[in-house]
Structure 1
Amino acid sequence: MRVGDTVRRPMRPSSPAVHALLSHLEAVGFDGAPRVLGVDERGRQILTYVSGQAAIRPLHPYAVGEEALAGLAALVRRFHDATESFVPPPDAVWEEGSMEDAAPELVGHCDITPENVIFRGKKPWALIDFDMARPTTRLFDIVTALRHWAPIADPIDRDPLQCHLDVGARLRLFCDAYGLPARDRRRILELSRLRFDRSYVAMRSRAVTDGGGWARMWEGGAGERIRRAAAWLDAHWDELDAHLR
């Protein structure tokens, strides 16, 4: 809920750890995230409202262009460079368990969907909604973003303006703008495939154990969309891989 120049959000078990992360980002001068202002009299988080336009669906043309994708890659790189020096509190609790295949190297956003990116002047400006943040790797956070922004998805599940995009070229563009080393580029498809398998299992489990929004997403076809994305990736693997060599 927006209240003036602030946003009020329910406290979650992970909120103290997320607040520590956001405070670190402020301390190191990263301006692309909300600031923590405390907790209100109703026990809600108080965060600064980040002005601009969220890339809500259906997407506007500026959000699917190459300039936006390159700008997002630069924003994610700045965020990763800023969070790399963050040391989580010893009692930190994060919202979701790890799905990675390597030891964490930083705390990532882990939910860089279009809805969680604020644009200003038709350029990506800030990341919001850090509820899913957790220890991860740079590459896994990148793969999560590319799932939605390349996008690595069956065309039937994409936003209308994303249906005919050259996904391979967009993967390469993001990697170039981020400055991703060649050794990591070659792992993007492999890690994307692993993420699909693990996110399917994780979402199915949370739909059963947590219910609520997780159950609604699952009932709304989240599992089927993940399966279709994995099948599309398998079918276009060689074509996409050629852009990452």
Structure 2
Amino acid sequence: MVPDGGVRARRYLDDGRGAVVELPAGDVTVGVIRIGETVRRPHQRQSWAVASYLDHLASVGFTIDGSPASPRFLGLDAEGRDTLTFIPGDVAEAVLEPWVLTDALLESVAVLVTALHRASAGFEPVAEPFPAREIAQDPFELVTHLDVTPQNVVVRDGRAIGLVDFDLAGPSTRFTDSVNAAMHWVPLRDPVDLPASSRGLDQLARLKIFADASDWTVAERRSCARFAADRAALSWRRMRLRAESGGGWARLWQEGVGDVIERRRLWLLDRETAIVNTLLSPV
């Protein structure tokens, strides 16, 4: 690796040997592989900003149990791919297994996200700014992950210990990131759209576990349902715009993701009173 002269100067040099393991493709990012203890990802327009953010997290010691909780950016490899360190552990499949749905893991995800927010405090993307959002830029409180799905959390011994896939990272707020994580992990969606493995979950009880572990304020608990519904409306608009560019976004839209998002919005509004009462209950 070339000595640091800024993330754009960084190169990862290896001998090109080692078994290539294809890693699960994300919703829109394909071509992610593992070679030895490194992960190679296609270089994207936000890659330099993400690399700078990962440098910050490393510099402030974002760790869980003494191990790095986010990848380290090593540089571009000989094929121009982003090269990052591999975080060992378990990651959920697209169809969630029972071990992903325990209350203990849910609570540890909230703790991990809160730790990320503490580590992110003070970082400002000046040298490598993030690309602007297509619609309605979020208020800037901090840079954060914004895509804490079960497929992007590394788990060991039933606890969340790391975050990967920072493709959607950018300026936002703590509460936005936290609610977004809860949306995926509780999960917050119309039960008709839950996979078979998630049916029967007490969604409101799980939301309270997440909120308590995240130390949400009374005001945040009161606003959660309405806030999440508004974010769903914004997500629908962004997804529709991205679908026009083709690729993975278009595929998701064709598969009905817009309908799922709209059903989520309506479900949240319909359950608003029950959600608020649950989140404000003492037990």
Larger helix percent: 1
Matched, 1:103 2:139: yes
Cα 1:95–1:119 shift into 2, 3 Å: farther
TM-score by length of 2: 0.82
Aligned to 2:271: 236
CA deviation map 1:110-130 (0-9, x unaligned): 111111111111211111100
Which consecutive unaligned segments of at least 5 residues does structure 2 have?
1-32, 63-67
Aligned to 1:127: 163
Cα 1:17–1:82 shift into 2, 3 Å: same
Contact 1:36-1:48 at 8 Å conserved across structures? yes
- 1:110 and 1:99 map into 2 onto residues whose CA distance is 15
Q: Which amino acid aligns with 1:181?
A: T
Aligned to 2:86: 49
Aligned to 2:186: 150
Contact 2:71-2:164 at 8 Å conserved across structures? yes
Pick aligned residue for 2:53 from 21, 32, 35: 21
Q: Which amino acid aligns with 2:53?
A: L
Q: Which amino acid aligns with 1:168?
A: L
Structure with bigger gyration radius? 2
TM-score by length of 1: 0.94
Contact 2:105-2:160 at 8 Å conserved across structures? yes
Corresponding pairs, count: 243
* Secondary structure of 1:46 counterpart: strand
Aligned to 1:65: 102
Aligned to 1:81: 118
Which consecutive unaligned segments of at least 5 residues does structure 1 have?
none
Q: Which amino acid aligns with 1:70?
A: E
- Percentage identity across paired residues of the two chains: 39
- 1:191 and 1:147 map into 2 onto residues whose CA distance is 12
Q: Which amino acid aligns with 2:270?
A: A
CA-atom RMSD in angstroms = 1.5
Cα 1:196–1:21 shift into 2, 3 Å: same
Cα 1:69–1:183 shift into 2, 3 Å: same
Contact 1:13-1:95 at 8 Å conserved across structures? no
Aligned to 1:39: 76
Cα 1:95–1:22 shift into 2, 3 Å: farther
- 2:169 and 2:135 map into 1 onto residues whose CA distance is 11
User: By how many angstroms is 1:194 displaced?
Assistant: 0.6
